[in-house]
C-alpha cells in the first residue's frame, strides 16, 4: 500500500513540474517571437519602432494624422524623388495586393510625398491608394528606423528612397521592402502582412497626443 501511494505521489509531482515548465516557457518574453502564425507558418516580423506623431494633408487639403492609421495595416511609400522616378516603384504592388486579397488581408496603401502641397493638375492615385503631402519629416524618421535593415544608402536624404514600409495596427514599423531591387521582398511582404492580420501587433504604449510636425 505504501509503495502504491509513493508511486502515485511521484506521478503527481512529475505532472505538476511539467505543467510549471510549460507555463514558464509560454511566459518567456521571446516565446511569441518564435510562434508561427497559421496563414504563413513563419514567425511574426520584428518591431523596429513606432512612427512618430504626424499630421499630413491629403490631395484635397484635409488633415490626416497618426490616429488614422491605427486599427489598420498600412503600407507606406515615401515619394521624395523626381516625378519620373516613381512609376517603377508601383509595378509589382497590384499583384501583391491581389495575393493579400486572396488571403483576406486588407492593406491600406499610403503614398507620402515630401513636397508641402500638391500640383494643381495632379491626377488622383490609382487602385484606391491614398496620397499625403508635407511628409519630409515622417520620411526622415522612417529612414532612421530602416537603417537597421536596409543598405547604408537608405539614409542618403538626397537620393530617392525605394523602400515600402509596413506599419501594423498600433503604428509600429514592422518591415522594409525594396520591391525594385530585392526579388524576395514581395513574398516577405505578403508573409508579414498575413501574420500581422492573424496575430495582431506586439503590445505597445499608445502614442502621445498628435502634434503637427
| pLDDT tens track for 178-212 | 888 888 999 999 999 999 988 888 644 444 444 44
Sign of CA dihedral 102, 130, 184, 168: negative
DSSP character string of 121-153: TPPPPSTT-EEEE--HHHHHHHHHHHTTTS-GG
Judged against a pLDDT cut of 70, whether residue 149 lies above it is answered with yes
CATH code, residues 49-199:
3.40.30.10
CB 47 within 8 A of CB 81: no
The pLDDT score that the predictor gives to residue 122 is 81
Average pLDDT, the chain: 74
Straight-line distance from the first to the last Cα atom of the chain, in angstroms, rounded to the nearest whole number: 78
Convert the pLDDT of each residue in 81-134 to its tens digit.
545 445 566 778 888 988 998 989 989 999 999 888 888 788 888 888 899 999
Amino acid at each position: 500500500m505504501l509503495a502504491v501511494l509513493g508511486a502515485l505521489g511521484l506521478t503527481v509531482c512529475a505532472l505538476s513540474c511539467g505543467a510549471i515548465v510549460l507555463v514558464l516557457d509560454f511566459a518567456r518574453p521571446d516565446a511569441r517571437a518564435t510562434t508561427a502564425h497559421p496563414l504563413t507558418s513563419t514567425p511574426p516580423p520584428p518591431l523596429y519602432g513606432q512612427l512618430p506623431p504626424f499630421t499630413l494633408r491629403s490631395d484635397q487639403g484635409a488633415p490626416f494624422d497618426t490616429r488614422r492609421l491605427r486599427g489598420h495595416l498600412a503600407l507606406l511609400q515615401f515619394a521624395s524623388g523626381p516625378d519620373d522616378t516613381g512609376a517603377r516603384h508601383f509595378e509589382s504592388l497590384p499583384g501583391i495586393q491581389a495575393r493579400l486579397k486572396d488571403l483576406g488581408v486588407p492593406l491600406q496603401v499610403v503614398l507620402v510625398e515630401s513636397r508641402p502641397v500638391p500640383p494643381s493638375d495632379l491626377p488622383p492615385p490609382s487602385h484606391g491608394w491614398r496620397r499625403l503631402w508635407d511628409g519630409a519629416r515622417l520620411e526622415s524618421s522612417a529612414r532612421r528606423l530602416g537603417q537597421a535593415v536596409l543598405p547604408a544608402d537608405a539614409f542618403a536624404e538626397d537620393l530617392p528612397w525605394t523602400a515600402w514600409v509596413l506599419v501594423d495596427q498600433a503604428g509600429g514599423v514592422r518591415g522594409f521592402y525594396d520591391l525594385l531591387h530585392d526579388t524576395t521582398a514581395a513574398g516577405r511582404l505578403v508573409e508579414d502582412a498575413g501574420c500581422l492580420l492573424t496575430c495582431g501587433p506586439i503590445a505597445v504604449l499608445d502614442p502621445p497626443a498628435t502634434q503637427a510636425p
